[in-house]
Amino acid sequence: MFNTGLIKFKDITDKYGHLTPIEGKVDIPFEIKRIYYITKVGEGVTRGFHSHKKLHQVLICVNGSVKIRLKNPKTEDIVELSDPTIGLYIGPYIWREMFDFTEGSVLLVLASELYDENDYTREYDFYLEEAKKRF
């Protein structure tokens, strides 16, 4: 889907376990200005329901699994993240919903900008109007 994609990170493995390094602008297509993580999401809970105007993000499920529903005005897709060496890139004007978080799952998010509520579009009909101009 335009404006989204999967990124495969390094997996440095030895007898002590696994290590995945992520460097801004090297392993992902932007400078990382913010990180946050989502934990302890209850069964049946869906989060997200928004898109961003400028923000670029990469979502990594570092433990457990989670599903992400991605929408643009023309199509929709569901991606399951369950591998800590895979990142899901989500660019501007993509609607996202995160659901089916397994117990103990941790969703790490790398973001290109500091938090700015004005960059969110949280109203789906308004999202469709704005996104239709771009897709």
Active-site positions? 50
105 SS3 class:
coil
d(CA 78, CA 64): 17
Site for ligand TYD in 45-64 (CB under 6 A): 47-48, 50
Of all helices (H) and strands (E), which one includes residue 119?
none
Residues 6+ apart with CB under 8 A from 81: 59, 60, 61, 65, 66, 67, 68, 88, 107
For residue 68, which amino acid is it?
Answer: I
Kindly tell me which of 50 and 69 has the beta carbon lying closer to ligand TYD.
Answer: 50
Closest approach, Cβ 9 to ligand TYD, in A, equals: 21
What is the rounded distance in angstroms from the CA atom of residue 86 to the CA atom of residue 62?
9
**Are 47 and 41 within 8 A, CB to CB?**
yes
Q: How far is the CB of 128 from ligand TYD (least distance, A)?
A: 18
124 binds ligand TYD (CB under 6 A): no
3-class secondary structure, 127? helix
The answer to the question of residue 32 lying near ligand TYD (CB under 6 A) is: no
Copy the structure tokens of residue 122: 């949280």
2-10, 43-51, 76-84, 86-94 -> range binding ligand TYD (CB under 6 A):
43-51
Please select the residue that binds ligand TYD; options are 38, 62, 106, 128, rule is CB under 6 A: 38
Shortest reach from residue 115's CB to ligand TYD, in Å: 4
- Tell me if 69 contacts ligand TYD by CB under 6 A: no
Q: Binding residues for ligand TYD, per CB under 6 A?
A: 34, 36, 38, 47-48, 50, 115
